[in-house]
């Protein structure tokens, strides 16, 4: 689903965020992307969502190389990726329903379908019945779950999340991670960037460790090995 | 994309734009006022010209000329000249206005009675009032008729009374040109006003645009509501311009009616024709759409999602 081949990323300000990063994430796999802040986690996610393009190397997502994708094909490309942000990036002046419906609306889904799917997504994150509320009327944890509902509403084959639990207390964080695991259980590829080692330890999933823009531990090959080292 | 989805998307964008405009009534009203005035001004000029043409349309047919004889030409000879003139083909009617009658008329209408009494003799000449046939009142026919009279030794001056009509029509042509220039300039103004308004709205909704692009919204999708906003501005401005024109006509109507009656005319102000209204609405919508498109094209491109 995701393949990085000797990917380097240098920002215009000269900072080299990633150096020769290579990893492969299979379809349906769930993995954590860990490392200190500034290790390059966000850059990896930006390269996947095509918010940035690699300086060197190739990033392939769902069979498409992002380096050569034309601008007019980017929207369709992004529609197959559900993105969750730490600051959830909700539209504050729109009710929950509109926020969650946005990916379906931009894809041109029929209204009936939108209604059905938005309710299903909100049900999955336990927010059914709050469609008409504004994001500001919700707790931080609920806002984050609205963001997750928006990421999954169009049933993308890939979900990426950047520090989705960063603002949440441990209980809520665990709950959100379980949510991601549930999506993974039904075949969605999930990549979660987090610096919360404790939380990662709760789940027996692959862990890709980044340090100073390089892969320190790929975590692939043998899942049991990763579990055993803890 | 199916036709239904296509329609749904456009309806949503249109309703969304309408909703946003109605949520900011003051800002929307001010923008509409500027657009409305800009559209109304050239339309009003055009309307003025059209009305002036209708009002003077009656004069256009009344082509005639006055042939002033030299003072000292005896009245009998003047009568003979009038009779000769009637023989000429292309001449419908010739009326001789003898100097005495001319003086009486002048005394009656000018109010210079006392001044005229002080004159030792009648300063006015005999005049032939010549009305050509309708079939012979082209500019060339009139010119040849004028030359015919000028050639007579008894004739002092031939005055083509239609000249002022021609001049008036030339003035109207200038005004029409002026309306066109005003339309072009003010149209550019509308383009700028809509473009700037849309630019501000794009900047206001930057976060929303970023998120929309992030979840896979295409440029066309993001642009659509702004284009509809521009279109609505255009339509609203055209409606307002129409209201302004009709209001102006309503205010002017009584005084124009009085003026027309004083001239013995049954002229009444004409409202904007279908063509003018078509130009108003077509121009408004086109300019609104184009202004929004230019602005959206320039500014949406630069807004890309950042994580």
Report which secondary-structure segment, H or E, holds A207.
strand A206-211
- With beta carbons under 8 A apart, name residues in chain B contacting A111: 8
Check CB contact of B306 with chain A, cutoff 8 Å: yes
Let me know: does B212 contact B262? Beta carbons within 8 Å. Answer: no
Calpha distance A148→A142 (Å, rounded): 10
Give the model's pLDDT for residue A230.
34
* Angle at CA of residue B14, ends B200 and B274, nearest 5°: 100
- The pLDDT, as a whole number, for residue B307 is 54
On whether any CB of chain B is under 8 Å from the CB of A11, the answer is: no
- DSSP collapsed to 3 states, chain B: CCHHHHHHHHHHHHHHHHHHHHHCHHHHHHHHHHHHHHHHHHHHHHHHHHHHHHHHHHHHHCCCEEEEECCCCCHHHHHHHHHHHHHCCCEEEEEEECHHHHHHHHHHHHCCHHHHHCCCCCCCCCEEEEEECHHHCCHHHHHHHHHHHHCCCCEEEEEECCHHHHHHHHHHHHHHHHHHHHHHHHHHHHHHHHHHHHHHHHHHCHHHHHHHHHCCCCHHHHHHHHHHHHHHHHHHHHHHHHHHHHHHHHHHHHHHHHHHHHCCCCCCCCCCCHHHHHHHHHHHHHHHHHHHHHHHHHHHCCCCCCC
Pairing relationship of beta strands A158-162 and A189-193 according to DSSP bridges: parallel
| CB contact (8 A) between residue A102 and residue B211 | yes
pLDDT, residue A226, reads 43
Cβ-Cβ contacts under 8 Å, B6 against chain A = 108
Residue among A51, A77, A102 minimizing CB distance to B307: A51
Chain A residues in contact with B12 by the CB 8 A cut-off are 105
Residues of B in contact with A107 (CB under 8 A): 216
Long-range contacts of A64-72 (CB under 8 A, 24+ apart): A72/B218, A72/B219
Give the chain A residue whose CA is nearest to the CA of B218.
A75
CA distances from B18 to B210, B230, B239, B259 (A): 22, 10, 15, 45
Q: Does B7 reach chain A within 8 Å, measured CB to CB?
A: no
CA A140, A141, A142, A144 dihedral sign is: positive
Model pLDDT for residues B197-213, shown as the tens digit of each residue = 999 999 988 988 999 99
Give me the average pLDDT of each 10-residue run along chain B (307 residues): 68 82 88 95 91 69 77 85 86 85 77 75 83 72 83 85 72 88 94 94 90 90 92 96 95 89 80 91 96 92 75
| Per-residue model confidence (pLDDT) at position A108 | 85
pLDDT given for residue A224 in this prediction: 44
- Chain B CB contacts of A108 under 8 Å are 1, 5-6, 8-9
**Segment (H or E) for A146:** helix A140-152
For residue A18, report the phi and psi dihedrals to the nearest 5 degrees.
Answer: -135, 145
User: Whats the size of chain A, residue-wise?
Assistant: 230
Q: How far apart are CA B98 and CA A108, in angstroms?
A: 89
Q: What is the 3-state secondary structure (H, E, C) of A42-84?
A: HHHHHHHCCCCCCCEEEEEECCEECCCCCHHHHHHHHCCEEEE
Please answer whether residues B40 and B245 qualify as being in contact, where contact means their C-beta atoms are separated by less than 8 angstroms.
Answer: yes
Q: What does the angle CA A212 – CA A216 – CA A217 come to, to the nearest 5 degrees? A: 150
The reply to whether residue A51 touches residue B218, judged by beta carbons under 8 angstroms, is no
Contact B276, B183 (CB under 8 A): no
DSSP state, residue A7 = E
Residue of A nearest to B215 (CA): A103
- B146 vs B125, B151, B304, CA distance in Å? 18, 9, 77
Q: Closest approach of chain A CAs to the CA of B217, in angstroms?
A: 5
Instruction: List the 200-229 stretch of B: residues with Cβ below 8 A of A.
Output: 207-208, 210-219, 221
**Closest CA relative to residue A226, chosen from A208, A210, A206, A200:** A206
In this prediction the ipTM stands at 0.85
CB atoms B215 and A79 under 8 Å: yes
Q: For residue B138, what pLDDT is reported?
A: 67
Tokens of A163: 């520090």
Q: What angle do CA A121, A122, A127 make, to 5 degrees?
A: 160
With a cut of 50, which residues of chain A have pLDDT below it? 222-230
Chain A contacts in chain B segment 8-37 (CB below 8 A)? 8-9, 12
Q: What pLDDT is attached to residue B159?
A: 80
Residue B139 near chain A (CB below 8 Å):
no
Q: Is B211–A111 a contact, with Cβ atoms under 8 angstroms apart?
A: no
A89 touches chain B (CB under 8 A): yes
Using CB atoms, which residue from A75, A90, A162 is nearest to B216?
A75
A14-57 pLDDT, tens digit per residue, is 888 899 999 999 999 999 999 888 888 999 999 999 988 899 99
CB–CB contacts below 8 A, A to B: 65
Q: What is the reported pLDDT for A229?
A: 37
Going by their DSSP bridges, the two strands A30-34 and A206-211 should be labelled as parallel
Question: How far apart are the C-alpha atoms of B253 and B264, rounded to whole Å?
Answer: 16
What predicted TM-score, i.e. pTM, was given to this entire model?
Answer: 0.73
Residue of A nearest to B209 (CA): A91
Biggest CA pair distance of chain A: 50
What pLDDT was estimated at residue B1?
52
């Amino acid at each position: 689903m995701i393949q990085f081949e000797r990917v380097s990323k240098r920002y215009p300000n000269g900072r080299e965020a990633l150096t020769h990063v290579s990893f492969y994430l299979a379809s349906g796999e769930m993995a954590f992307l860990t490392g200190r802040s500034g290790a390059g986690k966000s850059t990896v996610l930006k390269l996947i969502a095509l918010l940035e393009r690699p300086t060197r190397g190739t990033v392939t997502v769902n069979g498409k190389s992002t380096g050569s994708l034309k601008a007019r094909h980017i929207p369709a490309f992004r529609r197959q990726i559900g993105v969750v942000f730490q600051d959830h990036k909700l539209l504050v002046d729109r009710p929950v329903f509109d926020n969650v419906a946005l990916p379906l609306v931009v894809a041109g889904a029929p209204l009936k379908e939108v209604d059905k799917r938005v309710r299903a997504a909100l049900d999955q994150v336990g927010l059914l019945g709050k469609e008409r509320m504004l994001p500001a009327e919700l707790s931080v944890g609920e806002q984050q779950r609205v963001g997750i509902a928006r990421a999954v509403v169009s049933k993308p084959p890939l979900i990426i999340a950047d520090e989705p639990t960063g603002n949440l207390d441990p209980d809520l964080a665990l709950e959100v991670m379980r949510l991601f695991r549930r999506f993974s259980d039904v075949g969605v590829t999930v990549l979660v960037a987090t610096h919360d080692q404790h939380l990662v330890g709760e789940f027996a999933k692959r862990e890709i460790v980044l340090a100073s823009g390089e892969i320190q531990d790929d975590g692939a090959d043998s899942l049991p090995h990763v579990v055993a080292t803890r | 994309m199916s036709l239904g989805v296509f329609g749904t998307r456009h309806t949503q964008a249109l309703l969304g734009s309408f909703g946003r405009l109605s949520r900011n009534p003051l800002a929307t009203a001010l923008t509409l006022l500027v657009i409305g005035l800009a559209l109304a001004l050239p339309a009003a000029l055009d309307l003025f010209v059209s009305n002036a043409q209708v009002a003077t349309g009656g004069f256009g047919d009344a082509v005639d000329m006055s042939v002033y004889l030299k003072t000292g030409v005896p009245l009998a000879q003047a009568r003979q000249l009038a009779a000769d003139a009637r023989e000429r083909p292309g001449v419908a009617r010739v009326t001789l206005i003898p100097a005495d009658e001319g003086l009486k008329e002048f005394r009656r209408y000018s109010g210079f009675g006392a001044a005229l009494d002080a004159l030792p003799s009648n300063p006015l000449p005999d005049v032939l009032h010549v009305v050509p046939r309708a079939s012979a009142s082209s500019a060339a026919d009139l010119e040849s008729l004028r030359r015919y009279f000028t050639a007579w030794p008894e004739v002092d001056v031939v005055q083509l009374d239609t000249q002022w009509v021609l001049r008036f029509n030339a003035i109207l042509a200038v005004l029409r040109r002026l309306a066109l220039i005003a339309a072009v300039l003010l149209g550019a103004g509308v383009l700028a006003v809509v473009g700037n308004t849309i630019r501000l709205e794009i900047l206001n909704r930057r976060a929303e645009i970023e998120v929309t692009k992030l979840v896979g919204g295409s440029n066309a999708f993001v642009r659509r509501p702004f284009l509809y906003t521009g279109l609505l501005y255009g339509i609203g401005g055209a409606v307002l311009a129409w209201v302004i024109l009709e209001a102006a006509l309503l205010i002017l109507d009584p005084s124009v009616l009085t003026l027309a009656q004083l001239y013995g005319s049954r002229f009444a102000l004409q409202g904007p024709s279908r063509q003018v209204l078509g130009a108003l609405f077509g121009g408004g919508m086109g300019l609104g759409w184009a202004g929004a498109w230019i602005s959206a094209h320039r500014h949406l491109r630069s807004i890309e999602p950042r994580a």
